[in-house]
Amino acid sequence: MASMDFYQVLGVNRKATPSEIKKAFKRLARKCHPDLHPGDRGAEDQFKRITQAYEVLSDPAKRRRYDQTGSASQQPGPPPPGSGGFEGGFPPGFGFDTGGFGRGFADIFEEIFNPTGGEARRGPTPGEDRVYPFRIGFFDALRGVNTTLELDRETTCPDCGGAGTLASSRSRVCPECGGTGKIQRQGGRVRYTSECRRCGGKGRLAEEPCRRCGATGKISQREKVQIRIPAGVDTGSRVRLAGKGGAGTLGGPPGDLYVQIQVEGHPFFTRAGDQILCTVPISFSEAALGARIEVPTLDGPSTIRIPPGTQSGQKLRLRGKGAPSLKGEARGDQIVEVRVVTPELRDERARALLRELGGVDPADLRGHLKAYS
């Protein structure tokens, strides 16, 4: 044991943070805990090694001494006679003195067999809310759609009912008090003993970890969920599905599922809130003389009037042709930005006509710039 590399046992590097060390220990302890492998001597020995490594590396002073000398000053010895190996008790030296290591160790065991926290084993705990990202087409977002989602959902384990443990005639040592039935606590310099709430002072639990869910109280399964996406959703909108989130424990209600919308773009339309934006090209003569042109809308083609003398970049409004409102209000508007296209002169006659037009209306477009010259 003395030559054992504690870092290697836990699978962490020598610069690992305390939280990384704790996480590694919890993962390994869940995997090889003797209660999950009754009669497996190899699992029992491995569990002893990882608990010994964690005892040293989780204590700053012991870890510092171990890093300097390569050994811990107080190495646990073999199990005491009559302990029955590790099953039915913690490794020697793991006393529940709140001034030392044992109390934190018990807390970790509580987390291992009940990831939601120590008190959760004693009462129902609601499940966590989940977020499911969902891409939707541009027009589906505007019109609304019914669809089906296939989810890998976390549900309550049917074998243990979310408790993580099963009733058993074979009792085991309470991991909270280490079989003593009592918990030592300390407030300042005052140390006191109280009855263990986990086992009621008996020191043993008449239950065993549920193997189907790995003592978590939850299993994962594939499920199809029907959902209605309302008309008018936009990127960032959320649709709530009550009771479709994470499973609760000990009869606690499940959490909710929030479907987070991501709307795909469109090559012609752009959305800004409840407004629909688009850009439409017009000819030089349409801009100068005015015209009626047809433009696409969400409802099909619509006619819009171009006033005489319209300039490139000018914006025109089609009322009620925008996106529907999630608040149930009237639809927004469609904003049409016109872009005047300069004609390409392909023959001399066209050039002559433009020269003639320029002579008829010799406007000084840049007269106001002379003040800056």
pLDDT (average), residues 313-332: 92
Fold observed for domain 125-163+214-265:
HSP40/DNAj peptide-binding domain (2.60.260)
Q: pLDDT value at position 164?
A: 78
For residue range 261-285, what is the model confidence (pLDDT) as tens digits?
A: 999 999 999 999 999 999 999 998 8
pLDDT (average), residues 206-218: 81
Pull the structure tokens for residue 97.
């003195």
For residue range 32-61, what is the model confidence (pLDDT) as tens digits?
A: 877 667 677 888 888 888 888 898 898 888
Same fold, 125-163+214-265 and 270-362: yes
Which CATH superfamily does the domain covering 270-362 fall into?
Urease metallochaperone UreE, N-terminal domain (2.60.260.20)
pLDDT (average), residues 291-311: 94
Using CA atoms of 304, 309, 314, 315 in order, give the dihedral in degrees to the nearest 10.
Answer: -30
* Global pTM value: 0.53
Band the pLDDT of 215: cuts 50, 70, 90: confident
Does position 188 have pLDDT exceeding 50, yes or no? no
Q: Across the chain, which distance is largest between two alpha carbons, in Å? A: 117
Does position 99 have pLDDT exceeding 70, yes or no? no
Q: Which residues of 240-250 are buried (b: 16+ CB within 10 A; e: fewer)?
A: ebeebbbbbbb
**CA 190 centroid distance within chain:** 43
- Residues of the chain with pLDDT > 90, as a percent, come to 34
For residue range 191-209, what is the model confidence (pLDDT) as tens digits?
A: 667 788 777 787 877 677 8
pLDDT (average), residues 134-156: 92
- Residues of the chain with pLDDT > 70, as a percent, come to 78
Does position 84 have pLDDT exceeding 50, yes or no? no
Distance, CA of 250 to CA of 161 (rounded, Å):
7
Range of lowest pLDDT (91-95, 146-150, 259-263) = 91-95
Q: pLDDT value at position 109?
A: 58
Choose between 298 and 214: higher pLDDT.
Answer: 298
pLDDT (average), residues 17-44: 81
Q: Which of 30-34, 167-171, 182-186, 332-336 has the highest mean pLDDT?
A: 332-336
Does position 155 have pLDDT exceeding 70, yes or no? yes
Q: How much is the CA Rg of the chain, to the nearest whole Å?
A: 37
Distance, CA of 277 to CA of 336 (rounded, Å):
6
Q: pLDDT value at position 162?
A: 80
Please report, for the chain, the start and end positions of each structural domain, with discontinuous segments joined by +. 1-94, 125-163+214-265, 270-362
Does position 185 have pLDDT exceeding 80, yes or no? no
The CATH-assigned architecture of domain 1-94 is: Orthogonal Bundle (1.10)
Query: Which uninterrupted H or E stretch holds 192?
Result: strand 190-195
